[in-house]
Amino acid sequence: MTVEVLTSKKGPTISKYIYGQFAEHLGRCIYEGVWVGKDSDIPNNEGIRLDVVEALKAIKVPVVRWPGGCFADEYHWKDGIGTPAERKTIVNTHWGGVVENNHFGTHEFFHLLDLLGAEAYVNGNVGSGTVQEMQEWVEYITFEGESPMSNLRKENGSESAWEMKFFGVGNESWGCGGNMRPEYYADLYRRYQTYVRNYTDKHVYKIACGPNIDDYNWMEQVMKIAAPFMDGISLHHYALTGEWEDKGPATNFPEAQWHSLIDSAKKMDELITKHSTIMDKYDPEKRVGLIVDEWGSWLAVENGTNPGFLYQQNTIRDAMVASVTLNIFHKHADRVQMANIAQMVNVLQAMLLTEGEKMIKTPTYHVFDLYTHHQDAELIDTYGETQESIDYTVSKKDGKVAISVCNYGLQGKETVSFNLPDYSFNSAEAWIVSANEMDAHNTFENPEVVSKKSFEDFKIDGSTVSLTLPAMSVTTLLIKEN
């Protein structure tokens, strides 16, 4: 089967922000996963663990969303500034009822971003916070001049303001963020966002709370009432094996759940298409971005862990979920301006898992690694049929064409050919993430069971390159023009 690749046709840019991460004060994501404190034996920079920073830098994390999630609508940012020992201790009511000592706050978040070379997506509190509180946070973060909040930031050790690229006005306001109706939220959004000021010439990109999954009425109402006041609107969709109340296990699952999880992930395509059609009514120019700021597999927690911590293993099946979902985002590059996988470390479909001083990279991490070539690349149009289990993206950047192919079949190999008649090449290199078992995963004892390897099983014949792809694999082929 041959896919025709139209390299000479201009396509939209795949925003690098599609490769965004989400880091919430939930379970062991921030505490242990990112923050170990300055006095820890785990190598750290001002309290932030260095192994995690190095691993995330390698996959070019462009943006991190923080502090939630549901946590955001109960977070009062002033609790997390000043001398750490004097910060307020609160209860994280959403996530396990554990103590939150606020040692990781605004300054620590921006220090993490500095270490990663990533940009900020701060999520504000509409559910239980005031307009004044939100306005002051923006002032504290971004205002350089003389003002009460700017002076307070300086007193707390940061002379310079930070750049905050993205700001979310509430999270899941239809649920944990306040149980609102769309009309009510849309009016609140208009009010709160008024005070999210641009204190510099760098525009803060404002994101309204969008729908849960297929709540098309939410999208309709919020766009109708508030579209001119927003730059983006969010969408949340998690891949499940079945019913929400009965989540399947992350490992040792039946074959049916291999398929049901991938099918659930693939629903993202329909959701984006339908939500985008509604957005087109109010924003035909596609100025407003669809921001998928929570996505990924949501599976049963690991045995013996706190159910409120959402700690799950990550297998080659999750690698398939990552690959097909990223391909969907690419396909909708004209509307999807950012996405943030949930979550960065130790929670849901994480990049990294930690245990004390140990850290492992998950299969999902390796897919993000394979896909770095698509960040800010031009999406290349293609046509042609492929086998049922094949899903792919082709993009071009700096003269190089990257082809990423997922084979989510469970048995046998599939050969897929790509014909690039308008592109002159005679060599390529490729890497693969694959496994022999459908729940293959990395553990602290065996951290390299699933990893990125060099891939040689491809042939170039004139303008066609053919790849023979094993079952349960994700491959990226990088071709350089002659």
Residues near ligand AHR (CB under 6 A) are 24, 68-70, 171-172, 294, 342-343, 348
Measured from the CB atom, the residue of 290 and 438 that comes closer to ligand AHR is 290
Query: Least separation, in Å, of the C-beta of 3 and ligand AHR?
Result: 35
Sign, Cα dihedral of 246, 249, 252, 258 = positive
Sign, Cα dihedral of 113, 117, 119, 121 = negative
Measured from the CB atom, the residue of 118 and 341 that comes closer to ligand AHR is 341
Q: Which two structure tokens, joined as six digits, stand for 131?
A: 């307009």
d(CA 416, CA 3): 8
d(CA 90, CA 146): 31
d(CA 205, CA 353): 31
Measured from the CB atom, the residue of 343 and 442 that comes closer to ligand AHR is 343
d(CA 69, CA 94): 10
Measured from the CB atom, the residue of 52 and 209 that comes closer to ligand AHR is 209
Query: Least separation, in Å, of the C-beta of 172 and ligand AHR?
Result: 5
Measured from the CB atom, the residue of 294 and 378 that comes closer to ligand AHR is 294
H or E element that contains 168: strand 166-169
User: Which residue in the shown chain puts its C-beta closest to ligand AHR?
Assistant: 69
Measured from the CB atom, the residue of 70 and 239 that comes closer to ligand AHR is 70
Measured from the CB atom, the residue of 136 and 294 that comes closer to ligand AHR is 294
Query: Least separation, in Å, of the C-beta of 138 and ligand AHR?
Result: 21
Query: Least separation, in Å, of the C-beta of 65 and ligand AHR?
Result: 10
Query: Least separation, in Å, of the C-beta of 269 and ligand AHR?
Result: 21
d(CA 103, CA 95): 17
Residue pair 123/65 in contact by the 8 Å Cβ criterion? yes
Listed in sequence order, the DSSP H helices in 117-160 are 131-142, 148-155
d(CA 182, CA 131): 19
Query: Least separation, in Å, of the C-beta of 238 and ligand AHR?
Result: 7
d(CA 122, CA 113): 12
d(CA 451, CA 387): 25
294 is catalytic: yes
Query: Least separation, in Å, of the C-beta of 68 and ligand AHR?
Result: 5
Residue pair 369/323 in contact by the 8 Å Cβ criterion? no
Radius of gyration for the alpha carbons in the chain, expressed in angstroms and rounded: 22
Candidates 32, 74, 119, 294; catalytic one: 294
- Single out the residue of 75, 107, 223, 231 nearest to residue 165, CA to CA: 231
Measured from the CB atom, the residue of 244 and 383 that comes closer to ligand AHR is 244
Candidates 24, 172, 378, 414; catalytic one: 172
- Give the C-alpha distances (Å, rounded to integers) separating 47 from 33, 51, 273, 293, 408: 11, 12, 42, 26, 40
Q: Which two structure tokens, joined as six digits, stand for 250?
A: 């992350």
DSSP 309-347: G-----BHHHHHHHHHHHHHHHHTTTTEEEEEEE-SBSS
Measured from the CB atom, the residue of 68 and 409 that comes closer to ligand AHR is 68
Residue pair 31/345 in contact by the 8 Å Cβ criterion? no
d(CA 476, CA 458): 11
Residue with tokens 């306040």: 178
Query: Least separation, in Å, of the C-beta of 184 and ligand AHR?
Result: 19
Q: Which two structure tokens, joined as six digits, stand for 300?
A: 């049963």
Query: Least separation, in Å, of the C-beta of 113 and ligand AHR?
Result: 20
d(CA 53, CA 43): 11
Residue pair 387/416 in contact by the 8 Å Cβ criterion? yes
Residues annotated as catalytic (active site), given as ranges: 172, 294
